[in-house]
């Protein structure tokens, strides 16, 4: 690839790494990105939803008008702590830390790949597609940025392309994730009837026994190839001589098919209902499923990787990220990686070749001539 400046890519990566940006405190890194985009002549729209969850940085939308079918990139601005006073140890092939902090390659590597690729295209005056980018805060603490975007307002200002690449996959760059499950947490609160357990236990209804009977009938753990569930907490605390009249338990359920997940939650409720009417059930969406709307797009991305010499494959992953919320909003989102390894630990490192390769693949896809 002509004029590819590895030095510039690494300079941007280092700039970003050295700005401390824990979740909900990404303001300075947001300023850096906004300046970067504006200096390249991009249009910026800020989604200021951070007040809803106590953050200090907006979700940044950027746009560089081109031609032909557009693409939207995304990466998150927050990093896992401890990341303050980061010292980057630069080796030939990897960048790591001195062992006292995380690196923050998750997801500064993603940010750097996107920013550098746009820089490369514009600086060299290549004919390119419409380029959009969404830079989110609060990803590591429940995808707070992506979850809270006010899309109605966004669409009044900017219409990001539906084909999307989220640059935030852990591991090497030869994996294109296109599918991830939805996840719900749920809680049951079951009431029984209290009585003296030694004198007249027959007058009581043990809430703990109701819970035990219910859970023993639940489908849990591995439900099928694409669905899992787990009960992780049970609470009831009474003196030994009291028939317990209250218990609550909670867990999670994940699956690639949202309807199936909701069916199982419905089944759980029916099982409890058959034992007692006196219960409450709550469920919370942790994240929606990532389901691509068009697999042709992932074929094109894999082709771009191939063009730069990487044999990438489509993979299914087991967790949630911003990409799940974007998919729920109708984006055709895929997740690619930049070589971040041992993420969320102080042993975190980033393989520079993967960062470079994903940047090259992005450029390959963006360029029209
Ligand atoms: Zn990440």
Q: Residue 168's pLDDT is what?
A: 97
3-state helix, strand, coil in the chain (%, to 5): 35, 30, 35
Q: What is the pLDDT of residue 204?
A: 98
CA of 75 to the centre of ligand 1 (A): 8
| pLDDT average, residue stretch 164-188 | 97
Q: How far is the CA of 169 from the centre of ligand 1 (A)?
A: 7
- pLDDT (0 to 100) of residue 232: 97
User: Separation of 183 CA from ligand 1 center, angstroms?
Assistant: 17
Give the Å distance between the CA of 21 and the centre of ligand 1.
13
CB 101 within 8 A of CB 349: no
pLDDT confidence tier of residue 155, bands split at 50, 70 and 90: very high
pTM for the structure as a whole? 0.91
Q: How many angstroms does the Cα of residue 185 sit away from the middle of ligand 1? A: 21
Any idea which architecture 182-287 has in CATH? Answer: 2-Layer Sandwich (3.30)
SS3 313: strand
How far is the centre of ligand 1, averaged over its atoms, from the C-alpha of 128 (Å)? Answer: 27
Give CA–CA dist 366/131, Å, rounded: 8
pLDDT at 1: 81
Q: Residue 255: name the closest of 282, 283, 290, 217 by CA.
A: 290
In the chain, DSSP assigns E strands to: 43-47, 59-64, 71-76, 88-90, 94-97, 131-136, 163-170, 175-179, 182-191, 221-224, 227-235, 246-255, 279-287, 313-316, 332-341, 349-351
Domain range annotation of the chain: 6-180+290-366, 182-287
The bridge status of strand 94-97 relative to strand 88-90 is antiparallel
Cβ atoms 186, 251 nearer than 8 A: yes
Burial, 18: exposed, middle or buried (Cβ in 10 Å; 0-12, 13-18, 19+)? Answer: middle
Going 105 to 108 to 110 to 116, the CA torsion angle's sign is: negative
Distance (Å, rounded) from C-alpha 23 to C-alpha 244? Answer: 41
- Would you state the pLDDT for residue 188? 98
For range 323-351, the mean pLDDT: 97
For residue 368, report the distance from its CA to the centre of ligand 1, in Å. 30
CATH of 6-180+290-366, one of 3.40.630.10, 1.25.40.20, 3.30.70.260, 1.20.1260.10: 3.40.630.10
pLDDT in tens, 86-100: 999 999 999 999 999
The mean per-residue pLDDT over the stretch 124-153 comes to 97
* Residue 293, pLDDT score: 82
The answer to whether residue 369 scores a pLDDT higher than 90 is no
pLDDT score recorded for residue 76: 98
Place of tokens 């009960």: 231
First to last CA, the chain: 13
pLDDT class for 276, splitting at 50, 70, 90?
very high
| Average of per-residue pLDDT values in the chain | 97
**What is the structure's pLDDT at 292?**
83
Distance 7 CA to ligand 1 centre (A): 24
Please write the tens of the pLDDT for every residue from 6-49: 999 999 999 999 999 999 999 999 999 999 999 999 999 999 99
The pLDDT of residue 319 is 86
**Mean of the pLDDT values across residues 47-53?**
97
- For residue 260, report the distance from its CA to the centre of ligand 1, in Å: 28
Q: How far is the CA of 326 from the centre of ligand 1 (A)?
A: 15
Q: How far is ligand 1, taken at its centre, from the CA of residue 172, in Å? A: 14
Q: Is the dihedral of CA 104, 109, 110, 115 positive or negative?
A: positive
CA-to-CA distance for 174 and 93, rounded, in angstroms?
17
Q: What is the mean pLDDT of residues 326-354?
A: 97
Quick one: average pLDDT of 219-241? 97
As a whole number, mean pLDDT of residues 336-360 equals 98
Beta bridge partners of 242: 196
Tell me, in angstroms, the distance from the centre of ligand 1 to residue 166's CA: 10
């Amino acid at each position: 690839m002509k004029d590819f400046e590895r030095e510039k890519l690494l300079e941007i990566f280092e700039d970003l790494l050295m700005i401390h940006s824990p979740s909900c405190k990404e303001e300075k890194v947001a300023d850096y990105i906004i300046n970067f985009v504006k200096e390249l002549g991009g249009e910026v729209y800020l989604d200021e939803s951070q007040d809803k969850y106590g953050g200090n940085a907006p979700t940044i939308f950027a746009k560089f008008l081109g031609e032909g079918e557009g693409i939207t990139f995304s990466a998150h601005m927050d990093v896992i702590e401890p990341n303050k006073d980061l010292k980057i140890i630069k080796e030939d092939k990897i960048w790591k830390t001195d062992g006292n902090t995380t690196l923050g390659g998750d997801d500064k590597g993603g940010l750097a790949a996107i920013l550098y690729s746009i820089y490369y295209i514009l600086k060299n005056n290549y004919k390119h597609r419409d380029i959009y980018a969404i830079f989110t805060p609060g990803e590591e603490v429940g995808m707070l940025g992506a979850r809270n975007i006010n899309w109605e307002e966004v669409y009044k200002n900017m219409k990001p392309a539906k084909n999307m690449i989220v640059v935030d996959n852990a591991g090497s760059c030869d994996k294109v994730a296109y599918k991830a499950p939805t996840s719900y947490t749920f809680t049951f609160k079951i009431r029984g009837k209290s009585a003296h357990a030694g004198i007249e236990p027959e007058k009581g209804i043990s809430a703990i026994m109701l819970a035990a009977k219910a859970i023993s009938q639940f489908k849990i753990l591995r439900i099928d190839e694409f669905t899992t569930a787990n009960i992780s907490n049970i609470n009831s605390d009474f003196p030994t001589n009291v028939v317990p009249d209250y218990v609550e338990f909670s867990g999670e359920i994940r699956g690639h098919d949202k309807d199936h997940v909701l069916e199982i939650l419905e089944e759980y409720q029916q099982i409890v209902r058959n034992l007692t009417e006196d219960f409450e059930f709550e469920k919370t969406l942790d994240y929606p499923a990532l389901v691509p709307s068009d697999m042709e797009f992932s074929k094109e991305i894999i082709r771009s990787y191939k063009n730069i010499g990487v044999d990438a494959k489509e993979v299914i992953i087991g967790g949630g990220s911003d990409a799940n919320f974007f998919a729920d909003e109708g984006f055709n989102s895929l997740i690619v990686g930049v070589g971040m390894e041992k993420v969320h630990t102080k042993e975190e490192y980033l393989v520079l070749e993967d960062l470079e390769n994903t940047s090259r693949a992005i450029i390959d896809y963006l360029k029209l001539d």
